[in-house]
Structure 1
Amino acid sequence: MTVTIGKEKVSLVHSSGSSAEANLPQHGIARISTWKWSGTDADNEEEVTVRFKLTDSEVPENLHKEWPKKFEIIFIVTLTANTLKNTFQVTNNGTEPFDFNALLHTYYSVPDISKVSIKGLNDITYIDKVENFARVLDVKDSITIDRETDRIYENVPRDEFLIDLGQPGGAGNFTLKKINLKDTVVWNPWIDKARSMSDFGDEEYKNMVCVEPGTVTEYIRLEAGKSSECGQILKVQL
């Protein structure tokens, strides 16, 4: 069994710490901008790497006016027989510092959401977006999904989690290791939300889950001329 990565997106949002200061779409500008191919590395048969680049010149004009910063993002995807590594490097090419958020929106295809459990986020406080942004301490050994779930686990000290698909012998289970990212989002739209989404099938919630490393509860401050690198490594049990 393989774990299908349905969508990989990098969010980049506004500066100065206040959402009111930039009229940007949900998840920022990198998600809806056109990236450029930036080359492939395949030095050996065991690993292949591809790169994509986004700069401020590729951002749609209306969005660039809202967030007129000079930047470059390199998004790197590396594949081996049982791992997928995503990293992105944000560089401030301007003369002043800017702030940004980052989140890898990773959709996992799963055989049956009722059997899935996510381990490694226990004893962490999360922001529950379904329950009016209430802050809740999660004391359970693992997360299971049986309703609409939209949680931001904040300042997660652990870097590695297990996504257990509930299959015989642990087939298809995989680990997620976050790199230089503070938070982790867990999301499934469930029945009513799935039906209300134009780009999501009514029954697709049964076969997917999002476990998304990012830094979203705070901004990342990036000084002029400096770079910040973040990412994740996924390793599947063969």
Structure 2
Amino acid sequence: MYSKIIIFTLFICINAFADFYDQIEKIDKKRGDIYFDMNKTLKKPDTSIYKEQIQNAMNGLQDRINSYETKVYGGATKKEIFSNIQTSLNQNGGQKIDINIEDFISNNRIYIFMSSSVPLSIWHEYGLFLDKNKLKNGSLLLRGCINGCEKIMPTMEFLKKVIEYKPNEKMNPSILLDPLLFERYEINEVPCIVYAKDVSYLNKGFQGSEGSKEEVKTGKIYKSCGDWNMLYHLEELEKQSNDISLIKLIKKLREPK
């Protein structure tokens, strides 16, 4: 049965998203309302008797603003969110993250399980993420051909839409058709990302599906399912695995370009 499996390898690119504009607008409005109320109620002659009251009010105002921002952002400031730099994640004093990306790619896998029912915008985002960050150990996966493999054109037409994410612009991630991987990792919903550690072939010349348990061994595996952005998925996988390589990879991806 599986001898007829068709495995396509193509390549892609992705737009990172996830903005916080709504929350930011709320913060700015809250800040403005607080200042307005304070100026309305504390507008006094510039005498020493009122300076201490005004200063205390200002200190209280900043505490209220800090508390509000902490509730919305979990303690991160707007500048950190816009620049994608979280100092709590960066323990290297601003230095470049030391990670051997080739070792990470060769020993681990990031499988992104998809279907043709997933919106193209999600395909484009995940594919661009893999391509942009040169994650050659990551693949977008379909369970099989669209409408069956008797006719290949529906599948090819769909993949063309995936690759051409903009008019006259293409991207290059790996795309595989592999039902064995869906079976091996018990995928029942999509999108679903699997982080598989320490993937190795028992026979170096093996060129079949990595879903073959007889030919391919793996270490521990971790899953994150849902149509979240890829960086969120990686952070969820890192929480589950506490894997140092994944931690370093996330930090590196957050470095200013």
Q: TM-score, normalised by structure 2?
A: 0.22
Greater length-normalized contact order (CA 8 Å, ≥ 6 residues apart): 2
Which has the larger Rg? 2
Name the structure with the higher strand share: 1
Structure with bigger helix share is: 2
